A and B are shown apart, each in its own frame.
Chain A
């Protein structure tokens, strides 16, 4: 609220457009991959800056134990199909992964 706009996501998106539309065509071919990687990094950072982090606290609150304990319990088979909380664990993992993909790999979600 008190920060000066435009915000981080806007700046990154705007800068990325300049990179792809103005700089990339002027670069030698052997630098194109590096420029595309920079553009990819900026897109991920822009999505991370724009994401509401509330999902993380909500996911942790529902998780049986902390992430390390949850991982260990999965390994021990305590959330196997047929176990009492299998379905809840599956839904929680889906929700966490969907939120992670929204920043890192949005194309993995249904669109791909």
Chain B
């Protein structure tokens, strides 16, 4: 961060925090997502904060910083383990884009490391029970909410809304995807009855949850949240494509499905399984979009290019799931 930006940020933080002597003692760019920049800020008085702002190129489907801040505030108030949101700045003149500041939390999120550890999160079973409790708290947030009005009206039928959204996404893509259509049609044929929508995190998976040796330290990455079926989050976490190769541990590659459900409370397993098929379709479609950013030249990048080659493996899994479910 250059001196001019740092000076503007210091001035802004002094006013926001009501601390005229506040100084920033260190800044460093943390490894963040593809969409945002995360800066670690060390602030006078031993305060450890994170500043989150946008990269130049962002996905259209993700929420902006002001909206993510509102989601964090709602989650924090509902008792979800998230970094405490502190200040929001919507004035792009300070840093070039809106940003917010939250408390810095320690822990490990990296999926491949998490699934290999028997001790992170307090041990595998304790960890997934805790994840179940986190999801139950998230799902205690229900529409309508004035502070979350940007999420739009809650759908009457979240399963039907998911299918419609995915079909629209496929219709925007360059190539037809018969296997994803096959999976979506299966979901349409087998959709469970509508349930009242709740706040769904929509990217609650290994890799987006920070852990230390004692438990969950932060549920991260709220930018895809929406009103939907609560089982959507359980299905996304349990989907085989998000177990990071640790397939026997059905809850995110970390622990057992039974312990996750126990931590959550009341779970309709058949509904979760429906959302696991949905998870593979949605991830495949996101992977297509990520590869397209590379192919189109918007963002030439090897990781995005390789993500496209995950699509056939996801399609194979979708075909196998549909075949097994139709035979049952």
Contact = CB atoms under 8 A, between A and B. Distances in A.
Contacts of A97: 179, 312, 315-316, 319
With most chain A CB atoms within 10 A of its CB, the pick from B178, B247, B317, B323 is: B178
Contacts of B170: 71
Contacts of A104: 309-313
A74 to B, nearest CB: 4
A26 interface: no
B306 A100 contact: no
Contacts of B178: 67, 70-71, 74, 93, 96
Interface residues on B, range: 20 to 34
Nearest to B183: A74
Given A38-B302, A93-B178, A104-B309, A75 B167 contact: yes
With most chain B CB atoms within 10 A of its CB, the pick from A40, A77, A107, A108 is: A108
Contact of A71 (B177, B302, B310): B177
Interface in B9-65: none
A74 B316 contact: no
A98 B306 contact: no
B185 A80 contact: yes
Contacts of A38: 302
With most chain A CB atoms within 10 A of its CB, the pick from B175, B311, B313, B326 is: B313
Interface residues on A, range: 20 to 34
A102 B61 CA distance: 32
Nearest to B322: A90
B316 A108 contact: yes
B309 A44 contact: yes
A41 interface: yes
Contact of B317 (A68, A70, A74, A108): A108
A108 B315 CA distance: 10
Contacts of A79: 182, 185
Nearest to B327: A81
Given A41-B305, A74-B182, A75-B184, A101 B176 contact: no
A75 B312 contact: no
Nearest to A86: B326
Interface of B: 167, 170, 175-179, 181-182, 184-185, 189, 247, 302-303, 305-306, 309-313, 315-317, 319, 323, 326
12 contacts: A40-B306, A41-B302, A67-B176, A71-B176, A75-B181, A90-B319, A90-B323, A94-B319, A97-B319, A101-B315, A104-B311, A104-B312
Interface of A: 34, 37-38, 40-41, 44, 67-68, 70-72, 74-75, 77, 79-81, 89-90, 93-94, 96-98, 100-101, 103-105, 107-109, 112
